[in-house]
Structure formats: structure tokens, C-alpha cells
């Protein structure tokens, strides 16, 4: 009785959790408790995966604080395993931390990872344990501490947090990847290989929780990955934004456009929500531009006709440009070869847009055309039928 009471008191040393991080996690906690099912006699390893910064560690801490009050013989929370493992003897040091918890030693003296595995397997055997391994990014980090379920006693629970959902499923993914490699060896077409590389690259990003798919099957990038990407672009030229391939800051974009600065590398120009822009500048100097985003420019009235000379443009978004009355391409003036690459034209919520020019049929590469919520448009031009590559036409409301 006395021993149980002392052990219970020792376990009440809860981990610190920032209360501000607890908002909106109740559903996740419920799901975790359901998956853990601590009253069932099996041994379970439950993974929490997702992008960095979304609260995986917070959820793990809350669960740990709740479960550590129950009848577990050993409770241990290994923090920041990914970072700790990168230090000299990192995995061995982590094993020593876990072993010290098991044996109640102030300092364990394990010198190799294999020795640590043997000690953990031997000392864990038959014990009901609660172990959290936080921020794992390699399989070996998991194996070094909780290699197999039969290391532990009945009702043991292991929680793993990771950005990489491949961690607990390596053999199956390896088999798929080996099969992919065999197929690649038989493929000679460079374009097919390029598409497969992109596909597999996206799969890796999904597994690493750096991108995710949205409700409309679009890819969403994590803020940290976006910031890294922007930093790479920024380093292309610190002083001259026009020498970068993307510009997203309004001040830099306007400086390039208004001063007619050469932008021979510029491929993406994002002017979203430039509320004070009434007229766009001349675009004729930006022949390499591939994506132009004017979304939410609510005071924009006139888009310069020079936009039709953007022969590399594949994507144009003028959504929520409430005051634009005519399509910005002056289709009646399109010459041979102009706008041949445009694949997406989105003009939703343009309440002042009154008509669609008959020359829209000359956009021979157009795949996606959208005019949602434009109540002033009463008919479609017959030339719509000439868009033989069109895959999606949206005219909601």
C-alpha cells in the first residue's frame, strides 16, 4: 500500500503543456484514447503524424499526463528524438535516458546501440509500460527504443509522433518503391520519367507531411516548406527582385512593373488583394511570365491589353475583381501564337463582367475555364465549342 502510494506520487510529475495550445484538440484526444484503448490486454504502438507545428507533441503530452496517472509500471517521454539523434552518440544517449527511467539509475552506462537494445528488451520484458517517442524521422530511432511489441508486457502503450507516416510501414513502401524502380528501368521516354519523378516526389512530401490534399483535391503546402521555398528564391538575387523567378511582395512587384525593370527570369507574379491598384501596368516586357494572379484586386478596373503578349502564360486568376467589365485579354486582338499556352482562366465573382468574347475559342490549350457567380453574363459565345482540350467549364450561379 505504501509502495503503491509513493509510486503514484512519483508519477504525478506531469509534463508542462501550454494552455493556449489546447484549443480545438478535444476531438484528437478522443480519437487517441479510442486508438490506445488502455483496458485491452494487447500491446499497442500508436502513431501521431502530421506537419510540423500542428500540435503533435502537445497532444502526446496531454495523453501522457492522463495515462501516467494510471497503473503503468514504467512511464517515459523521450523529447525531440530527431534533433537529439543528430548529436554525437545521440541514439545511445537516448537509450541511456530510457534505461535510467527503467532502472531508476541516476546515470546509465550503455556504450553502444546494440547493448542498449539488449538491456531495454531484457528490462522491459513483462512490464506494463507507457513510452512516448517524440519527433521520430527515421526507422532506426524507433527500433533503438521499442523494436518489437513482444519486448513489453500486457497493456503496454507506445506513442510515436512523427512528420513521416512511413515510419511504421517501411516494408510495404519499400516493396512498392522497388517495383517502381523496375518499371523505370524499362521506360525510355524522358517525359514519362519526368512525370514519374514528380509523382514520387509528391508522394514523399505527403509521407513527410510537408504537403496535404485539400477538400477539392488540391495540394496544400505547409507554411514552413513555403518559407523555405521563398528563401531559396530570395537568394537568387537579394537586390534585384526582377532577377528572381517569383515575386509575391506587393511593393517589389509594383516596383518592377512601374519602373519597367527587366524581369527576364520572372515566372510567377502574385498581386493578390492589391486594393489600391486601379489599372495594371504594361506587361509586354515579361515574356517569361507563366502565372499571373490578380485575385481580390477589388478596385481594379482596367487590365492593360499588353497581357495578350504573354506567350508563356499558363495560369491567369482574376477572381473577385469586382470592377473589371471585360475579359483582360482583348481576345479580338489575339494574333497567331499569342496565349497558345494558357491552360487555366479563372474569373469568378467578377460582378461587372458582362460578356465573354467570341475569340475565346482561339485559346487552344485551355483546360479549365471558370466564370462562377457572374450574374451579368447571359450567354456563351459559339466559339466555346472550339476549345477541344477543355476539361472543365464552371458557370455556377
User: Residue ranges per domain, the chain?
Assistant: 2-162, 170-219, 236-394
| Predicted confidence (pLDDT) per residue in 211-240, tens digit | 777 666 677 777 667 777 777 787 777 777
Examine the pLDDT at 7 and tell me if it is beyond 50.
no
Predicted TM-score (pTM) of this structure: 0.52
CATH 3.40.50.300 fits 2-162, yes or no: yes
CB 350 within 8 A of CB 380: no
pLDDT at 12: 45
Assign 149 a pLDDT band (cuts: 50, 70, 90): confident
What would be the CATH architecture of the domain defined by 236-394? Answer: Alpha-Beta Horseshoe (3.80)
Residues whose CB is less than 8 angstroms from the CB of residue 198 and which lie 6 or more positions away in sequence, other chains included? none
Fold equal for 2-162 and 236-394 = no
Structure-model confidence comparison of residues 7 and 229, the more confident one: 229
| Predicted confidence (pLDDT) per residue in 347-375, tens digit | 999 989 888 888 888 888 999 999 988 77
Supply the angle between the helices 26-36 and 56-67 in degrees, to the nearest 10: 60
Mean local confidence (pLDDT), 34-45: 88
| Predicted confidence (pLDDT) per residue in 85-122, tens digit | 888 888 998 998 888 887 776 566 788 888 988 888 88
Examine the pLDDT at 190 and tell me if it is beyond 80.
no
| Predicted confidence (pLDDT) per residue in 23-34, tens digit | 667 788 888 888
Assign 5 a pLDDT band (cuts: 50, 70, 90): very low
The residue written with cell numbers 493578390 in the block is 272
Assign 164 a pLDDT band (cuts: 50, 70, 90): confident
Examine the pLDDT at 199 and tell me if it is beyond 60.
no
pLDDT at 319: 92
Amino acid at each position: 500500500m505504501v509502495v503503491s502510494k509513493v509510486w503514484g506520487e512519483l508519477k504525478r510529475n506531469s509534463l508542462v503543456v501550454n494552455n493556449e495550445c489546447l484549443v480545438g484538440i478535444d476531438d484528437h484526444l478522443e480519437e487517441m484514447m479510442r486508438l490506445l484503448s488502455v483496458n485491452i490486454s494487447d500491446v499497442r504502438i500508436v502513431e501521431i503524424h502530421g506537419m510540423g507545428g500542428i500540435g503533435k507533441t502537445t497532444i502526446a503530452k496531454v495523453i501522457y499526463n492522463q495515462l501516467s496517472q494510471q497503473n503503468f509500471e514504467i512511464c517515459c517521454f523521450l523529447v525531440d528524438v530527431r534533433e537529439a539523434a543528430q548529436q554525437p552518440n545521440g541514439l545511445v544517449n537516448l537509450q541511456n535516458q530510457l534505461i535510467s527511467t527503467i532502472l531508476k539509475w541516476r546515470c546509465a552506462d550503455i556504450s553502444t546501440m546494440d547493448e542498449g537494445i539488449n538491456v531495454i528488451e531484457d528490462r522491459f520484458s513483462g512490464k506494463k509500460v507507457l513510452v512516448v517517442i517524440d519527433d521520430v524521422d527515421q526507422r532506426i530511432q524507433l527500433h533503438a527504443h521499442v523494436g518489437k511489441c513482444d519486448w513489453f508486457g500486457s497493456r503496454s502503450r507506445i506513442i510515436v509522433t512523427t512528420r513521416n507516416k512511413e515510419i511504421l510501414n517501411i516494408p510495404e513502401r519499400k516493396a512498392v518503391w522497388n517495383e517502381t524502380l523496375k518499371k523505370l528501368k524499362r521506360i525510355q521516354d524522358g517525359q514519362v520519367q519526368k512525370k514519374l519523378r514528380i509523382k514520387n516526389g509528391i508522394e514523399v512530401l505527403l509521407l513527410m507531411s510537408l504537403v496535404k490534399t485539400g477538400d477539392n483535391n488540391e495540394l496544400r503546402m505547409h507554411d514552413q516548406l513555403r518559407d523555405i521555398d521563398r528563401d531559396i528564391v530570395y537568394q537568387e538575387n537579394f537586390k534585384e527582385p526582377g532577377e528572381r523567378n517569383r515575386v509575391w511582395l506587393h511593393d517589389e512587384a509594383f516596383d518592377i512593373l512601374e519602373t519597367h525593370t527587366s524581369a527576364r527570369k520572372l515566372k510567377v507574379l502574385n498581386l493578390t488583394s492589391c486594393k489600391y491598384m486601379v489599372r495594371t501596368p504594361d506587361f509586354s516586357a515579361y515574356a517569361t511570365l507563366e502565372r499571373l494572379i490578380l485575385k481580390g484586386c477589388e478596385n481594379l478596373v482596367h487590365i492593360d491589353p499588353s497581357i495578350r503578349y504573354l506567350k508563356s502564360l499558363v495560369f491567369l486568376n482574376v477572381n473577385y475583381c469586382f470592377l473589371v467589365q471585360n475579359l483582360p485579354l482583348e481576345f479580338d486582338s489575339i494574333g497567331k501564337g499569342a496565349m497558345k499556352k494558357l491552360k487555366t482562366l479563372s474569373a469568378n465573382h467578377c460582378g461587372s463582367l458582362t460578356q465573354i468574347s467570341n475569340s475565346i475559342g482561339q485559346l487552344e490549350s485551355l483546360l479549365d475555364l471558370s466564370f462562377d457567380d457572374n450574374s451579368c453574363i447571359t450567354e456563351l459565345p459559339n466559339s466555346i465549342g472550339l476549345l477541344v482540350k477543355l476539361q472543365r467549364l464552371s458557370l455556377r450561379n
